[in-house]
Structure 1
Amino acid sequence: MGFWINLLLFVSGSIVLYFIKQYFNGGICTLKKDISNKIVIITGASGGIGLEIARCLAAMGGTIIFACRDAQKTLEIIEEIKKETENEKLEYIPCDLSKLDSVNQFCLLFKRRFSQVDIIINNAGTMKNRYDISEDGYEMNYAVNHLGHFALTYQLLDLIRRNPRCRVINVSSSSHSKIDEIDIGKLSDEDYFDPYFSYYRTKLCNLLFTKELQRKLEKVGAKVVAVHPGTVRSNLIDEILDDSKFYKLIFYLIYPIYWLFTKDTFQGAQTILYCALEKHERLKEGGYYSDCELNTPSELSENKELAKQLWDDSAVALGFI
């Protein structure tokens, strides 16, 4: 009798764990289309979620621009995807989002090469739990996660405005909702830094940027959305664990639980793919998406005054106005 009870408990537990895992894996994008006439920019396309997005969109025929730092790694990946997809329209343009000069050069080279852009996926990100500043003097999370993408998108606004079917997809996170208040003017100050909340603030900035950019494109027709990809097993976790042997040990001990409640990079890419492929008229202007569905962001992310302040401060800091 004990054997059968144990077997029943094992089977029941396995079924429960299976459905828990399926739930946290999230929605799957079932949209497929020919995008051979589309030009797509993806930041951070050489790894993690960005690589999965690039691979999927390349398979649909798109011209994919890899906006990445590491030339050798990116070029090797491009050759790999070309063989997989038989799509030769994959190009690398260097872009280090922590360096304004690099972002400026990316935009210059892109405009020399192309006269249109159809999809911009602001995907790259960092998660620094120690205070560090970029060579331009900004806290590193803020520099990469917000300012770099702001600079890239701002300098492509002329191309975006020419294309009423253009869409900008900003990869944010549900962690933005952990922020109840934010001082835009202090985002790079060392005394305002927090190992976790500084990252969360940049994810709120992604939402505020999304809302304000959509308002500025209101009469154009272009769509701007933000995406929560889910809790993804990506290289961002390595940035947190890199400095601590203790945290690495704890992480490896709890890894089975971590695996159960997180997505792999393919699953994390699904909502971004959904927003890239969904019919233009069905995308919500300034919408916030997760698990391939429209979701509700935090109340603070809807603050128009805060969004305008972030836009104006960013533009002034980067010398655009």
Structure 2
Amino acid sequence: MSQWTAADIPDCGEKTFVVTGANSGLGYEATKALTRKGARVVMACRSIDRGLTAAYDVRDELPDGTGGSLHVRRCDLASLSSIESFAEGVREDFDELHVLCNNAGVMAIPRKETEDGFEMQLGVNHLGHFALTGHLLDLLVETPGETRVVTHSSGAHTAGSIDFDDLMREQSYSKWEAYGQSKLANLLFAYELQRKLDAAGVTDTKSVACHPGWAATNLQYRGPEEMGSRVRYGMMKVANAVVAQSAAQGALPLLYAATAPDVEGGAYYGPGGFQNMRGHPERQESSAASRDEDVAARLWDVSEDLTGVSYDVTALAPPA
């Protein structure tokens, strides 16, 4: 098994990364590691205040005069208008975008809806990132050299299914079933995007997927907090302490997928240790359901209809 760590990230000077959910957890750790390697990181955060605090913390850990630059921007993935405004700002202020890290997410929360009426977990984890990628894809493709879209999924995708008859889980809601659906949707999207890039002859932009295993972050606590369950909160705290790896370790598959030179489009990367819950990143196989091209194509069409964001990948192809 590979012993790849953040120390193996290649020099990222002059490269621009967008990281969603960059102010906490895996996104924060990825931002910190990329900045150490000289990257220009656009921190896409729901809260500007929390984003600025995180940016100050990252800078405080770097020796004076070293590292890349940080740019905190508001991006609420539960709002299509916020996503569009964020993307417009990126396009206006940055001439190039080398990597989009679709990292932010919510997990196992009570049912609620986004600003646009989507079930929150599907809306934030999948539809928000679908819209964001669509708004930024031309900038990625037009950037010289290799560029990437990295989408964070989860091992929970194996328990997920796409219920097209009740996609927003209005008829029956289970927080874990909804989470599994959203994480399966992440993979279906990542693989379908790679197929569309291949079909259009776009060779310098790759769509890659990854998962963190079990990493100790605030993500696990949001569900119990919103439920007001001290018991579940305590159980999650114990599990994080006993089973989970650190957030820094959990961010390695994302960092590998975003920067390692041997990464392949349409591939899936995760920790290679115990039960794929911890350890160093390696290429892995996702579920058969995640590779279902018919479901992926249908989900793509539904996602375009719901978000109003259409992908014209063919138009991005290089001239013959």
State the TM bucket, normalised to the shorter chain.
0.7 to 0.9
Alpha-carbon separation, structure 2, partners of 1:124 and 1:238: 15
Which structure has the larger Rg?
Answer: 1
Displacement, 1:250?
5.4
Change (3 A) 1:73 1:257: closer
TM-score (norm 1): 0.86
Which residue of the other structure, out of 259, 276, 281, is the alignment partner of 2:258? 276
Q: What residue number does 1:217 align with?
A: 197
Displacement, 1:244?
4.5
Alpha-carbon separation, structure 2, partners of 1:272 and 1:195: 25
SS at 1:190 equivalent = coil
Letter matched to residue 276 of structure 1: A
Which residue of the other structure, out of 35, 39, 42, is the alignment partner of 1:62? 39
Structure 1: give runs of 5+ residues left out of the alignment.
1-22
SS at 2:208 equivalent = strand
Cα deviations by residue, 1:256-280 (Å, 9 ceiling, x for unpaired): 454222112111111111112210x
Q: What residue number does 1:48 align with?
A: 25
Matched, 1:265 2:239: no
Q: What residue number does 1:304 align with?
A: 293
Change (3 A) 1:243 1:88: closer
Which residue of the other structure, out of 217, 231, 249, is the alignment partner of 1:234? 217
Deviates more, 1:78-87 or 1:260-269: 78-87
Cα deviations by residue, 1:126-181 (Å, 9 ceiling, x for unpaired): 124321111101000011000110000001111122245001111100110112x4
SS at 1:229 equivalent = coil
Alpha-carbon separation, structure 2, partners of 1:191 and 1:120: 34
Which residue of the other structure, out of 177, 187, 193, is the alignment partner of 2:167? 187
After TM superposition, list the pairs within 5 Å mapping 1:95-110 onto structure 2.
95-110=75-90
Q: What residue number does 1:173 align with?
A: 154
Change (3 A) 1:167 1:157: same
Displacement, 1:320?
2.6
Alpha-carbon separation, structure 2, partners of 1:196 and 1:224: 26
Displacement, 1:210?
0.4
Structure 2: give runs of 5+ residues left out of the alignment.
272-280, 311-320
Cα deviations by residue, 1:33-61 (Å, 9 ceiling, x for unpaired): 21111100000000001000000100100
Change (3 A) 1:250 1:142: closer
Q: What residue number does 1:319 align with?
A: 308
Displacement, 1:27?
6.6
Change (3 A) 1:260 1:136: same
CA contact (8 A) 1:27 1:271 kept: no
CA contact (8 A) 1:128 1:140 kept: no
Matched, 1:252 2:234: yes
CA contact (8 A) 2:269 2:284 kept: yes
CA contact (8 A) 1:184 1:309 kept: no
Q: Percent same amino acid among aligned pairs?
A: 33
Change (3 A) 1:138 1:95: same
Aligned-residue Cα RMSD (Å) equals 2.0
Displacement, 1:30?
4.4
SS at 1:67 equivalent = strand
Q: What residue number does 1:198 align with?
A: 178
CA contact (8 A) 2:39 2:68 kept: no
Which residue of the other structure, out of 2, 9, 16, is the alignment partner of 1:39? 16
CA contact (8 A) 1:161 1:217 kept: no
Alpha-carbon separation, structure 1, partners of 2:183 and 2:128: 13
Change (3 A) 1:128 1:166: same
Change (3 A) 1:254 1:97: closer
